[in-house]
Structure 1
């Protein structure tokens, strides 16, 4: 009979450390995405079509689609708002320290 050998436990997952600048940049990107999402909504993106519309389901999920499209726009360079926000937040954070 073969004895069962104990398995040594793996160390817990340690995510890579995130710097304060990375956190500020992500917050700035999310703010730009939210702004762009509202602009897309105002422009009429995601409005129900008169014919062949998706019904109530389409209406319920249109905001999620707009937000993801806005996030994709930000990742592709956006309108530069995230960088301006990042610099302002960094300046304020550096002044507070």
Structure 2
């Protein structure tokens, strides 16, 4: 009778796919951070003149910028995440 050996962990393709998913997520986070800064410098997140949302608006505007930048990066953004991903992947395999 042959008994099955316990699994030693993820197979090579699974490990590679998992590593690439983590690298892509890191690249998206980097692009989102860059885009958030650019959106902030462009004036997004500031209340228009005459509309004063008070301290609450100031505190939560950063969350809105985070969400907007993240969505932009996930949708392809300016292509920075893809370039970063390729560079990270090449460095990881290099």
Superposed pair shares fold, TM > 0.5? yes
Structure 1: give runs of 5+ residues left out of the alignment: 1-16
Give the structure 1 partner of residue 80 of structure 2. Answer: 81
For 2:85 and 2:74, how far apart are their aligned partners in 1?
A: 15
Aligned residue runs from structure 1 range 1-97, under 5 A: 19-95=18-94
Structure having the higher Rg: 1
After superposition, the C-alpha distances for 1:50-84 in whole angstroms (9 at most, x for unaligned) are: 21221110001111110100011112221100000
Structure with the bigger percentage of helix? 2
Over 2 Å off, 4+ runs: none
Unaligned runs of 5+ in 2: 1-14
Q: How many residues align?
A: 79
Over aligned residue pairs, what C-alpha RMSD do you find?
Answer: 1.4
What is the TM-score when the length of structure 2 is the normalising length? 0.78
Alpha-carbon distance in 2 for matches of 1:82, 1:46: 23
Q: TM-score, normalised by structure 1?
A: 0.76
